[in-house]
Amino acid sequence: MNRDIVMVGASGHARVLAQSLKRLGQVLVGIVSSDAAAPFDSSVRVFADDAALMAAPAEPYLLVNGIGSLPGRTARWEAAARYRKAGFTFMTVIDPTAIVADDLAAEAGCQVMAGAIVQPAVSLGQDVIVNTGAQIDHDCRIGNENHIAPGAVLSGGVVTGHRVHIGTGARIIQGIEIGDGAVVGAGVTVTANIPANATLKV
């Protein structure tokens, strides 16, 4: 059965995802946003809030999580949990301009954005964002709800825990392990393991 695609959120991340969907030949039929003037085509139906969409049966819809991710902000992950609890499913989006190995193991709701590179034997946990131009090399294991920000580079064999943020342009050398909730700031080069909930800045 063909399912109607609905974007949750109307942020900048949502607009970038909308372009990926167009390149994939997918049609966005709705967005969930309290902003009636959200910057989408006028043919796209606007659901004012979660309740407006959840009032409908879940089965006809396939959701895309357009809420962005920044350290300390949990709106993206909370929304995903609410909708899954209500029976909705999140679509995995892999932009056709991304270079992705054919053995990628990606769980539901992952998003691999334009120009990203994902090499062989990589696994991505649920709801991971591999953002614009980020690179993940061979044999990396990325935990649930990670954000690999634009231009970040992970060398081979990197392992990350739950809800890790790797900032724009960060560099992680091979074999590094990063604990749950850790934040690697923009431009940081990581050469040693990082414990849970640590924050590294330049």
What are the domain boundaries of the chain?
A: 4-91, 94-196
Distance CA 181, CA 198 (A): 7
Query: Are 77 and 85 within 8 A, CB to CB?
Result: no
Q: pLDDT of 52-104, one tens digit each? A: 999 888 889 999 999 999 999 999 999 999 999 999 999 999 999 999 999 99
Q: Tokens 């992680």 — which residue?
A: 172
What pLDDT is recorded for position 41?
73
Q: Which CATH superfamily is domain 94-196 in?
A: Hexapeptide repeat proteins (2.160.10.10)
Summarize pLDDT for 147-189 with one digit per residue, the tens. Answer: 999 999 999 999 999 999 999 999 999 999 999 999 999 999 9
Q: What is the pTM of this model?
A: 0.95
Residues 17-54: tens digit of each pLDDT: 999 999 999 999 999 988 755 667 778 888 888 899 99
Cα 27 to Cα 6: distance, rounded to the nearest angstrom: 9
What is the CATH topology of the domain spanning 4-91? Rossmann fold (3.40.50)
Sheet holding 61-65, edge to edge: 45-47, 28-32, 4-8, 61-65
